[in-house]
Amino acid sequence: MKLSIIGSGYVGTTVAACFAELGHDVVNVDIDEDIVRSINAGNAPIHEPGLDELVETHAGDRLRATTDYEAVLDTDATFLALPTPSNEDGSIDLGAMKAAAASLGETLAAKDDYHLVVTKSTVVPTTTAEVIGPRIEEASGKTVGDDFDIAMNPEFLREGTAVEDFLGPDKIVLGASTERAFDCLDEIFAPLVERAGNPPVVKTGTSEAEMIKYANNAFLASKISLANDLANICKEFGVDSTEVLDAIGLDSRIGSSFLGAGLGWGGSCFPKDTAAIIAAARSRGYEPRVLQAAVDVNDEQPTRMLDLLADRFDPDGKRVAVLGLSFKPGTDDIRESRAIPLIQNLVEAGADVVGYDPVATENMREHFPDIDYASSAADALVDADAALVATDWDEFAALDSEFDEMRERVVIDGRRIVTRRDGLDYESLV
């Protein structure tokens, strides 16, 4: 089929390249000319394992990019993969979605045959039906359910494994309200269903599909926060939290994934999506107490880590190495990284901070231009009074004699990744 994807960031580029790999003709529409140029030159505009190969293979053939919305006219369906960031109060900012829906509507005014518009972005329940659909109607002069259909297809890929996750999903969720829309979605997803070995395909309404995405992320984020809550209790009693969490993970009703206790969750999705669904719930008069508690526990983990440092010394004037700057290993993305509140507080307390990350240094430098950055963990540790480990990069597990170069060998481990050894004043956060 011929598909257009509006928005070509982490999701839009991955989805476009994977749909091209699955045999569809795909065009990416983005307002960013650099991104468009990069895709057309056969280079992925973002770093994701396997994505470069797909873009290189299909660019100029089944995959192209443009800044011109007119490109959607030659396609059967359009996916909206625009950003949905947070407003100041945590509620969802639909600005980019509304702008793209209006541009799409103006363009679709010139299309004579049927078109399907699919929301791929994470949006709060009723957005597709009550915001996207009406905006396209208004701008196109066409009628939803008659001239075109709207649908919702949430995305569950993780950064760092985006291609693998998209091509091997646990489930595919398709939200729509007409048979014609479901038929079109079936045709689009048939090659993926076949390649992925028939994963469950959940067919539901657009608002249910929207809520499934939030429920998925809210559950995973809360699971980590509950693991952190339990691990914090373990610490009070001198109990090994890893042994406890590993054991409960063996219960098939609990499962072992997303039980990794430590500094908490960051990234471009969990913080903004929990905030958005909490704000949406409150807008309808419901107070989501468990979810709010999950956020509170997450916000407090960096403070607990700094308290462990303060138990040793006042950080004012001390050199503190922060090891790991990205929000998780395997990515250079620092959005909502737990390293950010650590560094912020250390700087405010007067510490001399040196950061190190295998790939995220340049991104963090934009955020904190005035702290030092080291080109290796070993360099970061030279003359440091303390090291705070914020991200579980594998290479931190191998650190050993490098700690000998520290002035005071205080190591506070936020991810239980450093191997304990003699001569270190080592303490794990959980």
Ligand X SMILES: NC(=O)c1ccc[n+]([C@@H]2O[C@H](COP(=O)([O-])OP(=O)(O)OC[C@H]3O[C@@H](n4cnc5c(N)ncnc54)[C@H](O)[C@@H]3O)[C@@H](O)[C@H]2O)c1
- Binding site members: 30, 84, 122, 156-159, 213, 258-262, 266, 272, 328, 335
- Torsional sign, CA 183, 189, 195, 198: negative
Interaction of residue 416 with ligand UPG, rule CB under 6 A: no
Residue with tokens 């916000």: 299
User: Closest by alpha carbon to 184, among 28, 2, 15?
Assistant: 2
Nearest approach in angstroms of CB 158 to ligand UPG is: 4
- End-to-end C-alpha distance for the chain, whole angstroms: 51
Residue 178: phi, psi to the nearest 5?
-130, 155
Interaction of residue 199 with ligand X, rule CB under 6 A: no
- Torsional sign, CA 161, 163, 164, 165: positive
Find out whether 36 and 6 touch, Cβ atoms under 8 Å. no
Reduced to 3 states (helix: H, G, I; strand: E, B; else coil), residue 369 is: coil
Find out whether 403 and 381 touch, Cβ atoms under 8 Å. yes
Q: What Å distances lie between residue 167 and 8, 85, 145, 394, CA to CA?
A: 18, 26, 30, 26
- Alpha carbons 19 and 157: distance in angstroms, whole number: 14
Choice between 21 and 229, CB closer to ligand X? 21
Q: In a 10 Å sphere around its CB, with 0-12 CB exposed, 13-18 middle and 19+ buried, how is residue 365 labelled? A: middle
Residues numbered 179 to 198 that lie near ligand X (CB under 6 A) are none
Reduced to 3 states (helix: H, G, I; strand: E, B; else coil), residue 126 is: coil
Binder among 21, 25, 30, 48 for ligand X (CB under 6 A) = 30
Choice between 107 and 241, CB closer to ligand X? 107
DSSP 170: S
Q: In a 10 Å sphere around its CB, with 0-12 CB exposed, 13-18 middle and 19+ buried, how is residue 322 labelled? A: buried
Choice between 104 and 157, CB closer to ligand UPG? 157
Nearest approach in angstroms of CB 273 to ligand X is: 7
Active site residue 18: no
Interaction of residue 332 with ligand X, rule CB under 6 A: no
Interaction of residue 267 with ligand UPG, rule CB under 6 A: yes
Nearest approach in angstroms of CB 272 to ligand X is: 7
Binder among 166, 189, 327, 393 for ligand UPG (CB under 6 A) = 327
Nearest approach in angstroms of CB 10 to ligand X is: 4
Q: Segment contacting ligand UPG (CB under 6 A): 154-162, 180-188, 302-310, 398-406? A: 154-162
Residues making up the chain, counted from first to last = 430
| 266 interacts with, out of ligand X, ligand UPG, none, CB within 5 to 8 A per kind | ligand UPG
- Alpha carbons 381 and 402: distance in angstroms, whole number: 7
Binder among 41, 99, 290, 310 for ligand X (CB under 6 A) = 99
Q: Which residues are annotated as a binding site for NAD(+)?
A: 30, 84, 122, 159, 272, 335
Nearest approach in angstroms of CB 337 to ligand X is: 14
Interaction of residue 266 with ligand UPG, rule CB under 6 A: yes
Which two tokens mark 62? Answer: 């089944």
Interaction of residue 6 with ligand X, rule CB under 6 A: yes
Residues numbered 248 to 277 that lie near ligand X (CB under 6 A) are 268-269
Catalytic residue among 18, 184, 234, 269: 269
- Sites of contact with ligand X (CB under 6 A): 6-12, 29-32, 35, 81-84, 96, 99-100, 121-122, 155, 157, 159, 268-269
Active-site residues, by number, are: 269
